[in-house]
Amino acid sequence: MIVQYILLGVVYTLQIIFFWLPTVSVLPTIGGFDIDTYLVQGVGYFKTYSNAVWPVHDVFLGFLALLSWYTLKMILKFVLGHRAPGTH
């Protein structure tokens, strides 16, 4: 009960702090280049391709796993600074 009140308090506070920021639902268009449309289309093409050529899906998962590892390292370096392993 106490935790949920704290949680609601945090949520309402954040809403008050950021209420003035505009809400966005699509990616911007820069110089006539509609990033949102092209990204949706590109990902749609990729999904069609990976549905037919299924090894692409496995390679993509492997890439995501590797990306997660490098992200973890970056977070460790950010949090621990020079005390992170491999930084000295």
User: Which of left, alpha, beta for 75 (phi over 0: left; psi -120 to 50: alpha)?
Assistant: alpha
Distance CA 65, CA 59 (A): 10
Looking at 29, 44, 71, 74, which residue binds another protein (CB under 8 A)? 44
User: Shortest distance, CB of residue 81 to another protein, whole angstroms?
Assistant: 15
**Continuous segment of H or E residues that includes residue 60:** helix 55-80
Return residues touching another protein (CB under 8 A).
1-4, 7-8, 11, 14-15, 18, 21-28, 36, 39-41, 43-45, 47-49, 51-55, 58-59, 61-62, 65-66, 69, 73, 85-86, 88
